[in-house]
């Protein structure tokens, strides 16, 4: 068991190192950093001095090593565009994205699970079929189209909800939250719904599929035979048994959501790190692009590794097998 | 499960029942098209950034409500000799951190702005040095008989020397050093507002400076400045009352905004003239003609000029709000005469003939560098012009990207046709465009001579204007220079671009001048 | 054809037997009794045909700049007051006919979607076969690469790849190569699933007696294997590919919407939505509405079809 855990962590670290190498290569080859940093008045002497100061005269391996060591210390350099330390920029933006993703996840679970159970219990019911169809639409209509429609209806036509931003936020040291102010909560509604829609449909389908399978098992048949009421059978016995895949899939989805939030953040001008990244891409702000890539990958890999461990703990059979195939949502 | 459902219902109710809380103080919410690039006014030669930071930092002199030069941190001045100006400083002025304002601060600021790494160096072309006479008197040395020092100084703002030294910010931020400059994210000026907090690209909060030296003509307690890049979102925010003001209302949405009873729109022409630049070196950058540069043939430039249907552009892309022009400067800019304003007629057939005469009957391809966050509807202008050119056989490879990327291409001459808008700010005189754009690249002249055009006669006229104290004579030289450039179609002028501000019901009065700079120290709220 | 005869003779290809059954009418029968499947297939067929025939059907070539006239800009749809004859669904701010732009845009969207799925299936099959047949270090390496691809969010990779390539290309080539760049950037993030399916099947097959026999007889066992494996994995690959087609189309639209996809001079549906988004307050709702509808319709139809295919061919495949 311990050997497997060590191996998995080793794998994760190796993958991280390769991601770091990709980030480093972006830095190296997407234009000459010296060219980008200095203004046009700079002389050749200035350029050479900067090249030495940045360590660009060193062999690539040494440069990569320095890059990794600095990244481990959270030092990704200074943004070309904002002229601020990349790490502090991202730290400032992270709470906004985190809050959006968390609220969306909670929404997805709160709506997706009951709908999924409902559809599984009454497969022939018209409402259940409608729910399935709606969930199909939820998966198919692009998030940015939904965002635009929401803004058009709820901000412009009805004037109920703010069209952009986070509203008023409360600051706790370096962390900021919009959950504690009325305007902050209002501002969360539309972005979190448009981000959650895909996950709602996904969780609903997952729960339905798992439930249908569990309901066919002997365990449930015995429970029914014992004369337990339907409600108890469905929720206490059946749902409990299919929560495991739901929880783990949700865990893995969070990584995807953080990445996919950049679309929602663009539509709603949500000041999270996704919006920071999209702007960095437009402006070819390489330090921000590299840092974002690495940070999101760290979160993603960490979540996936944790999910692997959870599976290992639950299902002993997997302890024998090689790499577990990680299902991916997007 | 039951309790889970109950809490979720409670949460949804709590989310929907809450409303905006009303603030007792006067808070002005300003939604702009983009963020300021930095809190350091010397970090980037960007008119909009400087306009925003003028709420925090001030210069020795400033433009008043009639765009006339008025005393600010200097109370009076005199010309001591052709090369020396003496300024008497205002006493009792305090920086936001409480430090007193003295001559040392002026000297430190002038040293900072004239640093070789300073992108604003070109805004002070005649500056040679400065000396402190006493705590409240400084002398500035210039090139002989330079006429426009005061105009230049309106945008050279004053920092606190001790603050700069204490925070190692004596020189402008150098991104290459790999550390962020203190002044990039902190500010300490003498202006009517101070910075309360800043999150780049998200929100910057200004708070009224109760100890301002001037008598306030505003009643604002706080300004919340938010960049909202999407024009549709900006309009939605204004319509729903989330912002009170925007300095860039999208032209296509003006009728919609005007139809709303709560919204007021202020639209007119600003000083900025938008025109196309040509690569005038021996080689093209991205063209199927590689042995020579067609742009050097006046027939080609004229063909490009005459194939542009400026009226259609004005009516459709600019929504009838731009002012078509044949001149590089707006009528309000000294040096303008009506004769400059006439345009060559739109005539695609003549254009085709000119191209054939020049030896390009089938046209040619070239790179066309444009921005998407610079001038009003810039990307749409470039697209529309590309299709007009396509109809006479000219194939523009349109390259659209944000200003910061395109500026690098312009500065290194990597374009065949480019776009530039020049407002002649802060000088408000045609000498600005002549010395910075038209002049050959020599010393501080021709900083924006991106295409390498050379007109020795014109250079001589500009140089004469630069040492002529008699205003009429000077403007005579300048008009002559502009006429020569126009006759050779060195540039392809389009229009003076519109400016459009829109505001919600909370704003009582606001001052809009042709320089398109919001001045909230002259703004009253209800 | 040879693949088919092969499969009918081999009893251990149950999935393929199902595909065979489809051709014999069993599944076709199911198809015609599933209204959602029939409707989506028809919608998709119609969209694909009109997209292929775009140059014949559209009154304007929206990619030809000489055909865009400013005086025809922002015309409303033909049934509204002010609408004009050839411009069925109105025009955008550059005078681009929305109807033509949608046909051409659907063509780009479908083309990039199909191309990226085909490329990723081909990569997946190649990697899966190599990995499963050779095994050992190469298998280990290829599967690590797969893990790596899966450990960076797909959208992020696609944005970075397309932004970087566009930046590296000279301006004159940029527009022409953008579809290739987009196809590549979407394909390199989605081959892993196929590789895993094919690899698993290959490993099972490699242990079979006929392979051993072929090896002993020094016959080209790999060739035999391929013809055994491919039919086995066809259904799984087909279902995954159909479901991924929807995601690929969505990915292209998202990239174009964010501004790192198709340029305005060759708009895809995502680009049209990005342009239209700026105009929905000025009353030009048609610029954003029709492309958004078309895009949603395409993805919905593909997903419904994929869903049906999955349920019909293999209820256990989730």
Any residues with CB less than 8 A from the CB of B88 and at least 6 apart, and which?
Answer: B74, B75, B76, B77, B136, B137
Bridge partner list, B524? B509
* C170/B399 Cβ within 8 A: no
Rounded distance between C-alpha atoms, residue C46 and residue C57, angstroms: 13
How many inter-chain contacts (A to B, CB under 8 Å) are there?
Answer: 126
What is the full per-residue pLDDT of chain B (526 aa) written as tens digits? 444 444 444 444 444 444 344 446 899 999 998 888 889 888 767 788 889 999 999 999 999 888 889 999 999 999 999 999 999 999 999 999 999 999 999 999 999 988 877 777 778 888 999 999 999 999 999 988 888 899 999 989 999 999 999 998 888 766 555 556 788 889 999 999 999 998 888 889 999 999 999 999 999 999 999 998 888 888 888 988 889 999 999 998 898 899 889 899 999 888 999 999 999 999 888 888 888 999 999 999 999 999 999 999 999 999 999 999 999 999 999 999 999 999 999 999 999 999 999 999 999 999 999 988 889 999 999 999 999 999 999 999 998 888 777 877 888 888 999 999 998 888 889 999 999 899 998 877 888 899 999 999 999 999 999 988 899 999 999 999 999 999 999 999 999 999 999 999 999 999 998 888 999 999 999 8
Partner chains of C (3+ C-beta pairs under 8 Å): A, B
Rounded distance between C-alpha atoms, residue C117 and residue C248, angstroms: 7
Residue from A154, A164, A211 to probe the interface with B (highest B Cβ count within 10 Å): A164
| pLDDT on residue B142 | 92
Partner chains of B (3+ C-beta pairs under 8 Å): A, C
**Is C21 in the A-facing interface, judged by CB distances under 8 Å?**
no
User: A142 contacts in C (CB within 8 Å)?
Assistant: 250, 253-254, 257, 270, 292, 295-296, 299
| pLDDT on residue C175 | 79
Give pLDDT tens digits for A46-67.
Answer: 667 666 766 666 777 777 787 7
* A84/B180 Cβ within 8 A: yes
Residue in A closest to C190 by C-alpha: A330
* C153/A142 Cβ within 8 A: no
Asked if B269 and B323 count as a contact pair (C-beta separation under 8 A), the reply is yes
* B256/C283 Cβ within 8 A: yes
| Out of A39, A84, A279, closest to residue B184 by CB | A84
**Is A134 in the C-facing interface, judged by CB distances under 8 Å?**
no
Q: Which residue has the higher pLDDT, A157 or C139?
A: C139
Cα B250 to Cα A144, B247, B495: the distances in Å are: 21, 10, 17
Closest CA to B416 of B443, B392, B389: B389
Asked if A246 and A206 count as a contact pair (C-beta separation under 8 A), the reply is yes
Give pLDDT tens digits for C257-299.
Answer: 998 889 888 899 999 999 888 887 777 888 888 999 999 999 9
ipTM above 0.90, yes or no: no
| Out of A92, A164, A284, closest to residue B237 by CB | A164
> DSSP letters of A12-57?
HHHHHHHHHHHHHHHHHHSS-HHHHHS-TT--HHHHHHHHHHTTTT
Given a cut of 90, whether residue C80 has pLDDT beyond it is no
Strands B222-227 and B203-208: antiparallel
Residue from B33, B231, B232 to probe the interface with C (highest C Cβ count within 10 Å): B232
Chain A 238-267, CB below 8 Å of chain C: which residues? 255-256, 258-260, 262-263, 266
pLDDT above 70 as % of chain C: 88
* DSSP 8-state class, residue B223: E
Report the range out of A244-258, B33-47, B258-272, C83-97 with the highest average pLDDT: B258-272
Given a cut of 60, whether residue C6 has pLDDT beyond it is no
SS3 C210: helix
* DSSP 8-state class, residue B335: T
Min distance B392 CA to chain A CA atoms (Å): 32
| pLDDT on residue B389 | 96
Given a cut of 60, whether residue C19 has pLDDT beyond it is no
| pLDDT on residue A299 | 87
Question: Can you tell me the mean pLDDT for C22-44?
Answer: 76
User: B230 contacts in C (CB within 8 Å)?
Assistant: 277-278
| pLDDT on residue A43 | 55
| pLDDT on residue C120 | 94
**Is B116 in the A-facing interface, judged by CB distances under 8 Å?**
yes
User: B169 contacts in A (CB within 8 Å)?
Assistant: none
Strands B365-371 and B395-401: parallel
Partner chains of A (3+ C-beta pairs under 8 Å): B, C
User: A70 contacts in B (CB within 8 Å)?
Assistant: none
**Is C281 in the A-facing interface, judged by CB distances under 8 Å?**
yes
Angle between helices C2-9 and C221-258 (to 10 degrees): 120
Domains in chain B and their CATH numbers? 30-226+504-525 (3.40.190.10), 271-497 (3.10.105.10)
| pLDDT on residue C20 | 59
| Out of C94, C172, C175, closest to residue B387 by CB | C94
Min distance B172 CA to chain C CA atoms (Å): 29
User: A136 contacts in C (CB within 8 Å)?
Assistant: 300, 303-304, 307
Rounded distance between C-alpha atoms, residue A267 and residue A289, angstroms: 20
* B256/C281 Cβ within 8 A: yes
* B18/A186 Cβ within 8 A: yes
* B233/A269 Cβ within 8 A: yes
Angle between helices C221-258 and C269-277 (to 10 degrees): 10
Residue in A closest to B121 by C-alpha: A41
Which residue blocks in chain A are alpha helix, DSSP H? 2-29, 33-37, 44-53, 60-72, 86-121, 126-140, 143-150, 182-215, 218-225, 230-231, 240-241, 243-268, 273-282, 286-314
| pLDDT on residue A40 | 46
* B250/C278 Cβ within 8 A: yes
**E runs forming strands in B33-123:** 61-63, 69-71, 74-81, 84-89
**E runs forming strands in B308-412:** 323-324, 365-371, 395-401
Cα A239 to Cα A243, A250, B9: the distances in Å are: 6, 16, 21
**Is A34 in the B-facing interface, judged by CB distances under 8 Å?**
yes
| pLDDT on residue B175 | 53
| Out of B117, B119, B405, closest to residue A283 by CB | B405
| Out of B252, B383, B399, closest to residue C282 by CB | B252
Question: Can you tell me the mean pLDDT for A109-130?
Answer: 84
User: B38 contacts in A (CB within 8 Å)?
Assistant: 82-83
User: A130 contacts in C (CB within 8 Å)?
Assistant: none
User: C153 contacts in A (CB within 8 Å)?
Assistant: 255-256, 258-260, 296, 300, 330
Exposed / middle / buried, residue C265 (Cβ in 10 Å: 0-12, 13-18, 19+): buried
* A93/B15 Cβ within 8 A: no
Rounded distance between C-alpha atoms, residue C64 and residue C100, angstroms: 12
Rounded distance between C-alpha atoms, residue C184 and residue C181, angstroms: 5
Chain B 419-458, CB below 8 Å of chain C: which residues? none
User: A145 contacts in B (CB within 8 Å)?
Assistant: none
* C299/A263 Cβ within 8 A: no
Q: Which residue has the higher pLDDT, A274 or C207?
A: A274
Rounded distance between C-alpha atoms, residue B7 and residue A109, angstroms: 13
CA angle C125, C127, C131 (to 5 degrees): 115
Q: What architecture is the C16-317 domain classified under in CATH?
A: Orthogonal Bundle (1.10)
| pLDDT on residue A161 | 87
For the beta sheet containing B137-142, the strands, ordered from the edge strand earlier in sequence to the opposite edge, are B74-81, B84-89, B137-142, B127-134
Length of chain A: 330
Chain B 427-466, CB below 8 Å of chain A: which residues? none
| pLDDT on residue A329 | 33
| pLDDT on residue C149 | 84
Cis ω on the peptide bond leading into residue B426 (within 30° of 0)?
yes
* A15/C151 Cβ within 8 A: yes
């Amino acid at each position: 068991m311990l050997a497997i855990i060590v191996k998995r962590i080793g794998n994760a670290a190796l993958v991280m190192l390769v991601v770091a190498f990709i980030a480093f290569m972006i830095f190296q080859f997407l234009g000459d950093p010296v060219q980008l940093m200095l203004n046009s008045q700079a002389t050749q002497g200035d350029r050479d001095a900067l090249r030495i100061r940045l360590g660009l005269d060193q062999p690539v391996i040494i440069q990569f090593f320095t890059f990794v060591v600095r990244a481990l210390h959270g030092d990704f350099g200074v943004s070309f565009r904002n002229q601020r330390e990349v790490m502090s920029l991202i730290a400032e933006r992270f709470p906004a994205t985190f809050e959006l993703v968390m609220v969306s996840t909670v929404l997805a679970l709160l709506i997706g699970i009951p709908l999924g159970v409902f559809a599984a219990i009454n497969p022939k019911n018209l409402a259940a079929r409608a729910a399935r169809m709606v969930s199909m639409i939820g998966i198919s209509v692009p998030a940015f189209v939904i965002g635009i429609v929401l803004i058009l209806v709820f901000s412009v036509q009805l004037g109920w909800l703010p069209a952009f931003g986070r509203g008023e936020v409360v600051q706790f040291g370096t962390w900021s939250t919009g959950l504690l102010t009325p305007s902050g909560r209002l501002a969360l509604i539309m972005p979190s719904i448009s981000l959650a829609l895909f996950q709602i449909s996904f969780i609903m389908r997952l729960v339905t599929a798992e439930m249908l399978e569990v309901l066919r098992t002997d365990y449930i048949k015995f429970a029914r035979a014992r004369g337990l009421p339907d409600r108890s059978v469905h929720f206490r016995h059946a749902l409990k048994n299919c929560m495991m895949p739901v929880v783990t899939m949700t865990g893995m989805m969070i990584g995807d959501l953080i990445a996919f939030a950049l679309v929602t953040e663009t539509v709603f001008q949500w000041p999270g790190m996704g919006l920071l990244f999209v702007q960095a891409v437009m402006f070819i702000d390489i330090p921000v692009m590299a840092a974002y890539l690495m940070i999101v990958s760290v979160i993603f890999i960490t979540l996936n590794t944790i999910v692997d461990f959870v599976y290992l703990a639950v299902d002993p059979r997997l302890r024998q097998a090689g790499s577990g195939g990680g299902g991916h949502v997007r | 499960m039951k309790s889970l459902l109950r809490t979720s219902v409670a949460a949804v109710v709590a989310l929907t029942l809450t409303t905006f809380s009303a603030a007792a103080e006067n808070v002005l919410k300003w939604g702009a098209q983009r963020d300021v690039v930095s809190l350091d006014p010397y970090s980037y030669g960007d008119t909009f950034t400087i306009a925003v930071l003028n709420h925090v930092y001030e210069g020795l002199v400033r433009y008043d409500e009639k765009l006339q030069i008025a005393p600010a941190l200097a109370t009076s001045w005199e010309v001591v000799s052709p090369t020396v100006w003496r300024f008497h400083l205002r006493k009792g002025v305090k920086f936001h951190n409480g430090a007193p304002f003295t001559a040392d601060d002026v000297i430190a600021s002038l040293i900072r702005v004239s640093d070789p790494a300073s992108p604003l160096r070109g805004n002070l072309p005649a500056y040679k040095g400065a000396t402190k006479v006493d705590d409240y008197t400084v002398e500035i040395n210039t090139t002989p008989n330079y006429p426009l020092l005061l105009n230049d100084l309106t945008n050279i703002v004053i920092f606190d020397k001790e603050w700069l030294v204490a925070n190692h910010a004596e020189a402008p931020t150098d991104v290459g050093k790999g550390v962020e400059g203190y002044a990039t994210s902190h500010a300490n000026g003498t202006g009517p507002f101070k910075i309360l907090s800043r999150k780049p690209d998200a929100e910057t909060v200004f708070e009224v400076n109760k100890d301002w030296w001037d008598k306030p003509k505003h009643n604002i307690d706080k300004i919340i400045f938010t960049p909202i890049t999407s024009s549709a979102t900006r309009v939605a925010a204004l319509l729903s009352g989330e912002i009170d003001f925007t300095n860039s209302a999208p032209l296509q949405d003006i009728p919609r905004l005007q139809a709303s009873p709560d919204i007021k729109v202020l639209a007119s022409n600003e000083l900025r003239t938008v025109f196309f630049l040509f690569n005038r070196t021996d080689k093209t950058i991205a063209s199927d003609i590689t042995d020579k540069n067609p742009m050097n043939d006046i027939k080609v430039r004229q063909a490009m000029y005459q194939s542009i249907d400026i009226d259609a552009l004005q009516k459709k892309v600019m929504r009838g709000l731009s002012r078509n022009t044949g001149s590089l400067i707006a009528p309000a800019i000294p040096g303008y005469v009506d004769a400059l304003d006439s345009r060559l007629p739109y005539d695609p057939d003549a254009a085709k003939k000119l191209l054939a005469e020049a030896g390009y009957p089938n046209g040619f391809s070239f790179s066309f560098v444009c921005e998407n966050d610079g001038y009003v509807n810039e990307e749409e202008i470039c697209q529309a012009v590309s299709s007009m050119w396509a109809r006479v056989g000219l194939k523009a490879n349109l390259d659209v990207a944000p200003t910061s990327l395109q500026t690098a291409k312009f500065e290194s001459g990597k374009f065949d046709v480019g776009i530039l808008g020049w407002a002649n700010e802060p000088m408000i005189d045609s000498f600005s465009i002549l010395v910075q754009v038209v002049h050959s690249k020599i010393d501080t002249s021709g900083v924006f001579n991106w295409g390498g055009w050379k007109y020795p006669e014109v250079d001589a006229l500009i140089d004469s204007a630069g040492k002529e104290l008699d205003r009429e004579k000077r403007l005579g030289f300048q008009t002559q220079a502009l006429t020569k450039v126009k006759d050779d179609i060195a540039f392809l002028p389009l229009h003076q671009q519109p400016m459009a501000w829109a505001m919600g019901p909370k704003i009582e009065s606001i001052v809009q001048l042709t320089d398109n700079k919001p001045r909230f120290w002259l703004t009253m709220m209800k | 054809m040879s693949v088919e005869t092969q499969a009918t003779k081999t009893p251990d290809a149950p999935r393929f037997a199902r595909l065979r059954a489809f051709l014999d009418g069993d599944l076709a029968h199911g198809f015609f009794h599933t209204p959602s499947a029939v409707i989506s297939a028809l919608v998709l067929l119609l969209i694909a045909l009109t997209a292929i025939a775009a140059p014949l059907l559209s009154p304007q070539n929206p990619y030809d700049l000489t055909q865009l006239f400013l005086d025809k800009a922002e015309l409303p749809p033909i049934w509204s007051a002010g609408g004009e004859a050839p411009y069925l669904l109105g025009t955008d701010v550059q005078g681009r006919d929305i109807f033509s732009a949608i046909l051409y845009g659907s063509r780009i969207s479908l083309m990039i979607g199909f191309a990226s799925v085909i490329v990723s299936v081909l990569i997946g099959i190649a990697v899966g076969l190599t990995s499963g047949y050779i095994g050992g270090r190469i298998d280990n390496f290829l599967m690590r690469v797969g893990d790596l691809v899966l450990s960076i969010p797909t959208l992020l990779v696609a944005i970075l790849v397309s932004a970087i390539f566009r930046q590296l290309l000279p301006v004159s080539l940029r527009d022409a190569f953008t579809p290739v760049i987009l196809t590549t950037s979407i394909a390199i993030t989605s081959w892993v699933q196929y590789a895993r399916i094919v690899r698993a099947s290959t490993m099972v097959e490699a242990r079979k007696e006929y392979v051993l026999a072929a090896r002993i007889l020094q016959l080209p066992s790999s060739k035999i294997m391929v013809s055994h494996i491919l039919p086995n994995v066809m259904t799984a690959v087909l279902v995954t590919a159909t479901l991924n087609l929807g995601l690929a189309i969505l990915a292209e639209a998202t990239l174009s919407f964010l501004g790192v996809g198709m340029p305005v001079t060759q708009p895809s549906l995502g680009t049209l939505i990005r342009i239209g988004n700026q105009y929905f307050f000025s009353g030009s709702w048609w610029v954003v509405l029709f492309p958004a509808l078309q895009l949603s319709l395409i993805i919905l139809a593909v997903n419904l079809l994929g869903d049906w295919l999955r349920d019909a061919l293999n209820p256990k495949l989730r």
